[in-house]
Amino acid sequence: MLLKLTKDEGITKMEYAIVSDSQIRTFIQSNDSFFRNTFQIDQKLSGIVKHLMKTCLNILFLLFATITVSFSQSGQKNTAFTFGEELQFDVTYGWLNLAEAKLQIHRRVVNENSRPHYKIDAFGKTKGAATIFGRVNDNWGTHLDTGTLLPSLSYRFIEEGKYRKNEKVFFDQQNKKAKMELYDRDNRTLKETKLYNLPGQVQDLVSGFYLLRTMDLTNLKKGHQILITGFFDKEIYNLKLIYEGTEQIQTSLGLKETYIFSPQMPPNKLFRGDYPVKVWVTKDENKIPVKIKANLFIGSLNMDISSAKGLRNN
């Protein structure tokens, strides 16, 4: 990211200067008192910014979970994605480049319960000047059955400042059971195991979005509501997704026709409005997310696709 600053902003005596993200970070660190006094970044505001840094990627990952089995049928055919697909995203807040995210399907099949699975990972980490307020480095993942398109294993490896959480959830979809395993901060020692009853077949935070991509969306009517059932953070959640029609938007991949969805989000003081989030998914055979926008109490958080590799359909 490059930013143009005038001489009145105290970085240079020239009329203009082009500075990089790393230069901004170094300047802020070396002039901490200046920024606190001039821009009144007190402890309260700093806490808000830290909270935003730590939760922005969690919010974005939660969006991938907002589509589940309400449309699914047993043995639904997948023609939208395949092994080796990789999607890269940039996360911005105003002119700040906050983070980068990646959705990746590993190239090789993995086996769970003697059945073939996709290994799918969602990675997100803060970058550049945003790390001053708190470093985030998260990995959410799933093992998705290639036949049923149901998860057999879900995991979270969370690093947010000094906070750590390492968790695995094993799903027994046939018997409607889930086993959660919680590990220590080094992800070496098992600390806790819990068993849960499920209301039926469920998705996790990553698998739900990939299920959506296998569905026929051509007959959806504007305003249609999709009911959502999933398992996350020791709880069953029931949300809904609103279909808002189609739109042509410009992306780094070119001009794309897209479907628009607005998920109902859990209560959060960061959000503004009843349906503060919109998700744009390409109206083609791949059905990849190209843009996510979340309206916050101040400004908006945006996640835009930056590259796509290994797509099943060209």
Residue 149 pLDDT more than 50?
yes
Can you tell me the distance from the alpha carbon of 157 to that of 248, in angstroms, rounded to the nearest whole number?
A: 36
Query: H or E element: which one contains 33?
Result: helix 32-38
The Cβ of residue 144 has, within 10 Å, a number of other Cβ atoms equal to 28
pLDDT grade for 37, boundaries at 50, 70 and 90: very low
Average pLDDT of the chain is 79
Burial of 202 (0-12, 13-18, 19+ CB in 10 A): buried
Please, which pLDDT band fits residue 65 given cuts at 50, 70 and 90? very low
> Average pLDDT, stretch 52-63?
53
130 neighbors 137 (Cβ within 8 angstroms): no
Q: What pLDDT, in 10s, does the model give residues 221-257?
A: 999 887 666 666 666 666 678 899 999 999 999 999 9
Determine the Cα–Cα distance for residues 203 and 26; give it in Å rounded to an integer.
43
Q: Which of 2-16, 94-108, 180-194, 275-289 has the lowest mean pLDDT?
A: 2-16
Does the pLDDT of residue 100 top 80, yes or no? yes
Do 177 and 192 meet the contact criterion of CB atoms below 8 Å apart?
A: no
pLDDT digits (tens, 9 = 90+) for 4-36: 444 444 434 444 445 555 655 565 555 555 444
How far apart CA 155 and CA 234 sit, in angstroms, is: 12
C-alpha gyration radius of the chain = 21
248 forms beta bridges with 257
Residue 274 lies in a domain: yes
Position 40 confidence tier, pLDDT thresholds 50, 70, 90: very low
- Helix, strand or coil for residue 85? coil
- Does some domain include residue 11? no
Domain that holds residue 269: 21-309
- The predicted pLDDT at position 97 comes to 86
**Separation of first and last alpha carbons in the chain:** 30
Per-residue pLDDT tens digits for 75-85: 568 999 999 99
Q: Answer whether residue 190 is part of any domain.
A: yes
Query: 307: which residues sit within 8 A by CB, 6+ positions away?
Result: 86, 87, 88, 252, 253
In a domain, 2, yes or no: no
Query: Can you tell me which residue has the tokens 């000047």?
Result: 129
Q: What is the pLDDT of residue 179?
A: 94
Antiparallel, parallel or unpaired: β 115-126 and 137-145? antiparallel
Q: Is residue 26 part of a domain?
A: yes
At 112-139, the pLDDT tens digits run: 999 999 999 999 998 877 777 778 899 9
Mean of pLDDT values over 79-104: 92
In percent, how much of the chain has pLDDT > 70?
Answer: 70
Count: domains in the chain: 1
Cut 0.75: pTM above it = yes
Q: Would residue 13 count as lying in a domain?
A: no
For residue 16, which phi and psi values (nearest 5 degrees)?
A: -140, 155
Asked whether residue 42 is domain-assigned, the answer is yes
- Structure-block tokens of residue 309: 């590799």
The answer as to whether 12 is a domain residue is no
The pLDDT of residue 62:
53
Contact between residue 208 and residue 67 where contact means Cβ atoms under 8 Å apart: yes
pLDDT of residue 254: 96
Beta bridge partners of 18: 4
Q: Which residue has the higher pLDDT, 53 or 214?
A: 214
Nearest to 291 by CA among 240, 267, 255: 255
